[in-house]
Amino acid sequence: MRYPFSEIEPKWQKYWEDKKVYETDLSKIDNKLYHLNMFIYPSGSKLHIGHWYHYGPSDSWARYKKLKGFNVFEPMGYDAFGLPAENYAIKTGIHPYDSTMQNIKDIRRQLKKMGSMYDWNAELMTCAPEYYKWNQWIFLQLYKKGLAYRKNAPVNWCPKDQTVLANEQVLADGTCERCGTVVIQKNLTQWFYKITEYAEELLEGLDKINWPEKTKLMQRNWIGKSFGAEINFDVEGSEEKIKVFTTRPDTVFGATYVVLAPEHPLVDKLTTNEFKNGVEAYRDSIKSLTEIERTSTVKEKTGVPIGANAINPVNGKEIPIWIADYALLTYGTGCVMAVPGQDERDWEFATKFKLPIIRTVEPPKDFQGDAYLGDGPAINSDFLNGLYVEDAKKKIIEWLEKNNHGAEKINYRLRDWLISRQRYWGTPIPIIHCPKCGEIPVDEKDLPVELPYKVQFKSEGASPLSSNEGFINVKCPKCRGDAKREADTMDTFMDSSWYYLRFLNPKIDSEIFDKELAEKWIPVDMYVGGAEHATMHLLYARFIHKFLRDIGLLNSDEPFARLLHQGTITNNGAKMSKSKGNVVNPDDFTAKYGADVFRLYLMFMGPYELGGDWSDKGISGTDRFVQKTYDIFTKFKDILKKITPEEIYNIENLNDDEKSLYKKVNQTIKKYDEEINNFRFNTAIAALMELLNELKNIDRCTEEIIAYTLKRFAVLLSPVAPHLGEECWNLIGNNLSLSEKPVWFETDKNALIEDSVNVAVQVNGKLRTTIEVPLNSEQAIVKRFVFAEEKVKKHIDSKKIVKEIYVKNKIYNIVVK
């Protein structure tokens, strides 16, 4: 009979749901395992292959851990706010709330059909007021501590999405992370979270967590700690001082000009009359450039002098002040001391504008390039001469500090997190603007500030919330006069920065999350999700976690103890995309083969962290495996009702077929355990396929050994093919399902000892002896045994060996003359 997946899969799904087997008792903390997947973004109504590949194998791992006796908590929820739903509303007129609710309904149904063991009791969605109320609450706590603030600054603006973006959301090529449009710069008053306050701890904490090295490196680079000094340059004929940050204070004798960011407030104060027009024209010309474009290494350097001179504090020399777009107001102090001899960018600039170049580090004799960045003895540097870079740095910092010209300084590349968005479908920022009292935070007791349903979505750069009069007009909580609510909403990365805490008890109303449970269950033990979140979600969540700890809500330093990124599935080696028309639609295959086959095949394709390449042919092979497995279990239906096999057998008492099968079963358990524990589903499944192959001799075994084997096989099947596993377990006569009473079988150590075979040894075609060697031994190993045998030696001594032929596990033939 063909494996009737369309009856069996819904049957078990209903059974699991009715018996509530996946509702985790969080009061039990022995062997607790919080297994979390990055929750789903319900921008469409269908699970695509990426969802299946993320959630299916990861769920199999959780199922395996449950069998091994862990109290596994695996929740699922919806990252429900965000731009796609709003853009969809602009296109179709369907309200984001309505489309999101429909998508969630559809997705929930599909996740259940996948055969997942999510605890649906813990389900949450970020667009619910009882959830986003706490985003607002976190905002207010940050505000109280001075960590949420509003400032006017040049920010990244996506013209297509009509909203600002955080630096983390602008890709390296200067485009919007969401829609690929080139991002421009705009001056706007926006809300920021002071993530920079935590820069050092965010950096240090990386050493304490078990995350992929590449992801940690990306965060390290993003935070970008550099050591150096702040140096003060006097300005000729002015009281003003120019502060520069440099990582190479040892090169200060080679500073031949100073560069200010064109937006720097000092520019207006210091520019001399005859240079004013040039400065204005230059500022206009760079207005629309993004920071990424401005600092691009390939872009030709531009800039203009402002007519004033700075004084190099170490030698009193006058050096010209310039403005150039490569100096950024947001990095360091917005002022740069230019040292063309030791900096490529400065070299290029100095060469173009004919500014002096002084080397202060002696390059090696064979050095061919322009600026020299390496180590070497200081030259042209007075009291630093002869010192190598590190020593020279120490000495110059001492000198600067002693003479009040500067001090040692650490700098970070990380900027504060820009959280305002000029969009509708997000959390309203709980602030009221009063013409008399200024910005007033909403009282905690008045939370949530609810998102109104009725707004005009497209309002040309203004926030849609300002189009709802009832929402936007409000009385000032302080003076009772007319005031307006903040019309911007929060970056939706706020929603995902603490959701793992809320899962523990999503219904709690008295506090942001259940503190008692968090003490026991946080950090998350295993977190699985895409690598693209390295410097966004995964950084923000660490920041918010540390902040919540600092206000006394958490006792742990990090949210996710272990992290793993799933790979991606390609089609014939190419990335799947709608435009290429090569997208594999899971529904086509689950309809034909069922969810288990589809899951199994995805896992079999390659190592989970690398992904694999799709093939229609491959999935039919997996289907045959499922079919053959089902046939065998059907054949031995209810065998456990007749036979109760032992937990362990003495190998010596088994016949050869039984012995071989018994060993294979135990070796399979051992192999499977090691592989699946490390997310190597492909090799774990390969081990099951080998075991199935061994079952072809099952009829030659006693029913006891058959029952012993099938019990174990069903258990190993159940994590990777959950419905089939339960069905097989049930077929052979178990009353309680594996989900109700998880089972794991330990291996029999004696059965793990490697097998040996007898190899016939011939000399010139005549059998001289047989020797026992380990199964599948290579020729070199067998040869050693062969040539040690007396019976062989006496036939080859004093003769010339012409040839040796080895047939693995069978014959070793020596031809002599």
Q: Which residues contact 236 (CB under 8 A, 6 or more apart)?
A: 308, 309, 310, 311, 318
Judged by CB under 5 A, the stretch of 432-440, 511-519, 534-542, 564-572 that binds Zn ion is 432-440
Please give the structure tokens belonging to residue 124.
């949450």
Judged by CB under 5 A, the stretch of 146-154, 433-441, 677-685, 804-812 that binds Zn ion is 433-441
- Cβ proximity to Zn ion: between 460 and 790 the closer is 460
- Cβ proximity to Zn ion: between 177 and 657 the closer is 177
Does position 160 interact with Zn ion (CB under 5 A)? The reply is yes
Please compute Rg for the chain using Cα positions: 35
In the complex, the smallest distance separating the C-beta of residue 177 from Zn ion, rounded to whole angstroms, is 8
In the complex, the smallest distance separating the C-beta of residue 461 from Zn ion, rounded to whole angstroms, is 13
Contact between 442 and 428 under an 8 Å Cβ cutoff? The reply is no
Selected from 36, 124, 164, 176, the binder of Zn ion by CB under 5 A is 176
Does position 554 interact with Zn ion (CB under 5 A)? The reply is no
Residues in contact with Zn ion, total (CB under 5 A)? 13
Interatomic CA distance for residues 624 and 616, integer angstroms? 13
Judged by CB under 5 A, the stretch of 114-122, 156-164, 417-425, 530-538 that binds Zn ion is 156-164
Q: Report 389-408 residues binding Zn ion (CB under 5 A).
A: none
In the complex, the smallest distance separating the C-beta of residue 176 from Zn ion, rounded to whole angstroms, is 3
Judged by CB under 5 A, the stretch of 159-167, 298-306, 745-753, 800-808 that binds Zn ion is 159-167
- Cβ proximity to Zn ion: between 160 and 810 the closer is 160
- Cβ proximity to Zn ion: between 179 and 328 the closer is 179
Judged by CB under 5 A, the stretch of 150-158, 353-361, 619-627, 687-695 that binds Zn ion is 150-158
Interatomic CA distance for residues 79 and 533, integer angstroms? 14
In the complex, the smallest distance separating the C-beta of residue 544 from Zn ion, rounded to whole angstroms, is 24
- Cβ proximity to Zn ion: between 490 and 626 the closer is 490
In the complex, the smallest distance separating the C-beta of residue 391 from Zn ion, rounded to whole angstroms, is 49
- Cβ proximity to Zn ion: between 140 and 179 the closer is 179
Q: How many angstroms separate the Cα of 490 from the Cα of each of 101, 157, 465?
A: 20, 15, 12
- Cβ proximity to Zn ion: between 387 and 434 the closer is 434
Interatomic CA distance for residues 808 and 802, integer angstroms? 20
What secondary structure does DSSP assign to 619-682, as a single string?
Answer: HHHHHHHHHHHHHHHHHTTTHHHH----S---GGGS-HHHHHHHHHHHHHHHHHHHHHHTT-HH
The 3-state DSSP class for residue 231 equals: strand
Amino acid sitting at position 225: K
The 3-state DSSP class for residue 544 equals: helix
Interatomic CA distance for residues 172 and 298, integer angstroms? 13
In the complex, the smallest distance separating the C-beta of residue 174 from Zn ion, rounded to whole angstroms, is 12
Judged by CB under 5 A, the stretch of 61-69, 101-109, 131-139, 175-183 that binds Zn ion is 175-183
Interatomic CA distance for residues 540 and 555, integer angstroms? 18
Interatomic CA distance for residues 53 and 69, integer angstroms? 25
Q: Which helix (H) or strand (E) holds 686?
A: helix 681-694
Does position 171 interact with Zn ion (CB under 5 A)? The reply is no
In the complex, the smallest distance separating the C-beta of residue 477 from Zn ion, rounded to whole angstroms, is 8
Please give the structure tokens belonging to residue 220.
């390290």
- Cβ proximity to Zn ion: between 181 and 762 the closer is 181
Q: Which residues contact 73 (CB under 8 A, 6 or more apart)?
A: 24, 26, 32, 33, 34, 35, 119, 122, 503, 521
In the complex, the smallest distance separating the C-beta of residue 84 from Zn ion, rounded to whole angstroms, is 11
Judged by CB under 5 A, the stretch of 348-356, 426-434, 525-533, 708-716 that binds Zn ion is 426-434
Contact between 46 and 106 under an 8 Å Cβ cutoff? The reply is yes
* 152 Rama class: left (phi>0) / alpha (psi -120 to 50) / beta: beta
Contact between 540 and 417 under an 8 Å Cβ cutoff? The reply is yes
Interatomic CA distance for residues 306 and 742, integer angstroms? 76
Provide the mask over 636-655, with x wherever binding to Zn ion is found by CB under 5 A and - wherever it is not. --------------------
CB < 8 Å & 24+ apart, contacts of 95-99? 95/453, 96/424, 96/425, 97/127, 97/453
In the complex, the smallest distance separating the C-beta of residue 436 from Zn ion, rounded to whole angstroms, is 4
In the complex, the smallest distance separating the C-beta of residue 86 from Zn ion, rounded to whole angstroms, is 12
For residue 523, cis peptide bond before it (omega within 30 degrees of 0)? yes
- Cβ proximity to Zn ion: between 485 and 768 the closer is 485
In the complex, the smallest distance separating the C-beta of residue 183 from Zn ion, rounded to whole angstroms, is 7
**For residue 92, how many C-alpha atoms fall within 13 Å in the half-sphere facing its CB?**
11
Please give the structure tokens belonging to residue 352.
């173009």
- Cβ proximity to Zn ion: between 160 and 269 the closer is 160
Closest CA to 424 of 471, 452, 464: 464
Edge-to-edge order in the sheet of strand 801-807:
766-774, 756-763, 811-816, 801-807
Selected from 153, 158, 335, 720, the binder of Zn ion by CB under 5 A is 158
Please give the structure tokens belonging to residue 240.
């003003």
- Cβ proximity to Zn ion: between 477 and 607 the closer is 477
Q: Report 473-532 residues binding Zn ion (CB under 5 A).
A: 476, 478-479
Q: Residue 222: phi, psi to the nearest 5?
A: -65, -40
Contact between 591 and 623 under an 8 Å Cβ cutoff? The reply is no
In the complex, the smallest distance separating the C-beta of residue 441 from Zn ion, rounded to whole angstroms, is 12
In the complex, the smallest distance separating the C-beta of residue 478 from Zn ion, rounded to whole angstroms, is 4
In the complex, the smallest distance separating the C-beta of residue 483 from Zn ion, rounded to whole angstroms, is 6
Judged by CB under 5 A, the stretch of 468-476, 657-665, 688-696, 801-809 that binds Zn ion is 468-476
In the complex, the smallest distance separating the C-beta of residue 82 from Zn ion, rounded to whole angstroms, is 12
Judged by CB under 5 A, the stretch of 177-185, 401-409, 443-451, 635-643 that binds Zn ion is 177-185
Amino acid sitting at position 757: V
- Cβ proximity to Zn ion: between 331 and 425 the closer is 425
Selected from 188, 328, 358, 437, the binder of Zn ion by CB under 5 A is 437
Interatomic CA distance for residues 262 and 255, integer angstroms? 19
Does position 436 interact with Zn ion (CB under 5 A)? The reply is yes
Does position 179 interact with Zn ion (CB under 5 A)? The reply is yes
- Cβ proximity to Zn ion: between 474 and 561 the closer is 474
Tell me whether residue 25 is exposed, middle or buried, using C-beta atoms within 10 angstroms of its C-beta: 0 to 12, 13 to 18, 19 or more.
exposed
Number of Cβ within 10 Å of residue 241's Cβ equals 15
Selected from 161, 291, 514, 525, the binder of Zn ion by CB under 5 A is 161
Contact between 642 and 634 under an 8 Å Cβ cutoff? The reply is no
Judged by CB under 5 A, the stretch of 113-121, 471-479, 502-510, 793-801 that binds Zn ion is 471-479
Q: Residue 612 gets which letter from DSSP?
A: E
In the complex, the smallest distance separating the C-beta of residue 463 from Zn ion, rounded to whole angstroms, is 16
- Cβ proximity to Zn ion: between 172 and 298 the closer is 172
Judged by CB under 5 A, the stretch of 181-189, 214-222, 227-235, 690-698 that binds Zn ion is 181-189
- Cβ proximity to Zn ion: between 180 and 356 the closer is 180
- Cβ proximity to Zn ion: between 178 and 194 the closer is 178
- Cβ proximity to Zn ion: between 96 and 559 the closer is 96
Amino acid sitting at position 751: A
| Bridge pairing between strands 124-125 and 563-564 | unpaired
- Cβ proximity to Zn ion: between 179 and 188 the closer is 179
Selected from 108, 150, 178, 808, the binder of Zn ion by CB under 5 A is 178
Footprint on this chain of Zn ion (rule: CB under 5 A): 158, 160-161, 176, 178-179, 181, 434, 436-437, 476, 478-479
